[in-house]
Amino acid sequence: MKNQDQISVIGLSSNPVITYSPIVMPVSGRPADMHLKVSAPVSGNNLPIVILSHGHGASTYLSSLRGLAPLTEFFSSKGFIVIQPTHPDAKLLGLDTTGPEGGLFLKSRAKDIHFILDNLDHILARVPGLEHRADKSQVSAIGHSLGALTVGMLAGAEVTDTLGETISLAETRLKALVMIGAPGGPEGLNGDFALTHYPVLKGINYTSMSLPTLVINGDRDINLNFSNVENWRADPYYQSPVQSSLLTVFGAEHIYGGISGWDVAETTDESPQLVAFLCESILAYIRSAMDPSDKSWAELQKDLQNDPDAKARIDNK
Give me the percent of the chain exceeding a pLDDT of 70: 96
Q: Is the pLDDT of residue 12 over 80?
A: no
pLDDT at 8: 46
What residues does each domain of the chain span? Answer: 4-316
From 152, 168, 142, select the one nearest 238 (Cα to Cα). 152
CA distances from 18 to 125, 130, 285 (A): 15, 10, 25
> Residues 104-115: pLDDT tens digits?
999 999 999 999
> Residues 212-258: pLDDT tens digits?
999 999 999 999 999 999 999 999 999 999 999 999 999 999 999 99
pLDDT at 4: 37
CA distances from 281 to 61, 180, 202 (A): 26, 12, 30
Q: Residues 239, 226: contact at Cβ < 8 Å?
A: no
How many angstroms separate the CA atoms of 255 and 266, rounded? 8
Q: Residues 297, 287: contact at Cβ < 8 Å?
A: yes
> Residues 183-199: pLDDT tens digits?
999 999 999 999 999 99
How many angstroms separate the CA atoms of 105 and 91, rounded? 12
Q: Is the pLDDT of residue 96 over 70?
A: yes
CATH code of the domain made up of 4-316:
3.40.50.1820
> Residues 39-91: pLDDT tens digits?
999 999 999 999 999 999 888 899 999 999 999 999 999 999 999 999 999 99
The pTM of this model reads 0.94
Q: Is the pLDDT of residue 2 over 80?
A: no
Q: Is the pLDDT of residue 11 over 60?
A: no
CA distances from 236 to 26, 143, 158 (A): 33, 13, 12
How many angstroms separate the CA atoms of 62 and 90, rounded? 9
Segment 12-20 mean pLDDT: 83
pLDDT, averaged across the chain: 94
pLDDT at 3: 39
pLDDT at 259: 97
pLDDT at 6: 45
How many angstroms separate the CA atoms of 5 and 21, rounded? 29
pLDDT at 13: 64
